[in-house]
């Protein structure tokens, strides 16, 4: 069945989640993270995801901005840094994350070919609106779908249901793209055609399902969509 709809995870897929710590570390006043910013960013992202899973399985949902703050607080303590100014600066930079360099051209190619495009993310609507606006890609997206509609984080199947409900399409018509191997795998089990964007060259997660495709960036997405 031809692909009609291309759906993207947001953080780590379209938006560079390491950018906040990297940009903060480049400022002279943040010399305390100048050498370990990459570890801080990695710890922040890992805890952000872990807290989303724990909240999902314990029925303790909150929005992704709270999870993001909680993850940062843990990461800062784990890396021996503190301070309200640095914390506020990192959160402000996270709210305005840059898109990866190939994103705008890739989305434009999909839209020019008549495909529907969307974000499907754990992010809260306000977070996603901020990132999309900052990256300047709003005109290339037909929908921004947030888990807040359902009140539980990925990979709950009800999240993937949002795509078919919004676009009135079948799962087989959807090309789903995520930088999270577990997300791509779960979406594959759901029935989407899936792409894992594995920028870091990580091993595949040991799960009952696997992504159909693996790329190291987003440049080949239009070809996989049949353009």
The catalytic residue positions are 9
Order across the sheet with 193-197: list the strands: 143-146, 116-121, 5-8, 174-178, 193-197, 213-215
Contact 122, 154 (CB under 8 A): yes
Contact 128, 65 (CB under 8 A): no
| Cα–Cα separations (whole angstroms), residue 5 to 60, 63, 129, 141, 166 | 32, 26, 20, 11, 11
Going 166 to 208 to 68 to 55, the CA torsion angle's sign is positive
Spatial CB neighbours of 181, under 8 Å, sequence gap ≥ 6: 196, 198, 202, 204, 205, 211
Alpha-carbon radius of gyration of the chain = 17
Q: Give, rounded to a whole angstrom, the gap between the first and last alpha carbons of the chain.
A: 14
Contact 224, 175 (CB under 8 A): yes
């Amino acid at each position: 069945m031809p692909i009609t709809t291309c759906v993207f995870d947001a953080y780590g897929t379209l938006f560079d989640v390491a950018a906040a710590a990297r940009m903060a570390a480049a400022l002279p006043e943040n010399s305390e993270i100048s050498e370990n910013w990459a570890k801080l960013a990695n710890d922040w992202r890992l805890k952000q995801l872990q807290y989303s899973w724990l909240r999902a399985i314990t029925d303790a949902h909150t929005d992704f901005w709270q999870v993001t703050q909680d993850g940062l607080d843990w990461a800062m303590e784990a890396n021996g840094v503190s301070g309200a100014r640095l914390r506020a600066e990192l959160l402000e930079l996270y709210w305005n994350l840059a898109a990866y360099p190939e994103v705008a051209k890739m989305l434009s190619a999909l839209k020019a070919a008549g495909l529907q495009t969307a974000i499907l993310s754990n992010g809260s609507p306000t977070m996603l609106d901020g990132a999309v606006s900052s990256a300047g890609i709003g005109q290339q997206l037909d929908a921004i779908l947030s888990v807040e509609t359902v009140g539980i984080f990925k990979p709950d199947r009800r999240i993937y249901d949002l795509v078919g409900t919004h676009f009135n399409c079948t799962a087989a018509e959807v090309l789903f793209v995520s930088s999270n191997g577990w997300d791509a795998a779960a979406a594959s089990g759901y029935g989407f055609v899936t792409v894992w964007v594995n920028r870091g060259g990580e091993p595949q997660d040991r799960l009952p399902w696997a992504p159909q495709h693996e790329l190291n960036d987003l440049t080949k997405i239009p070809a996989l969509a049949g353009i």
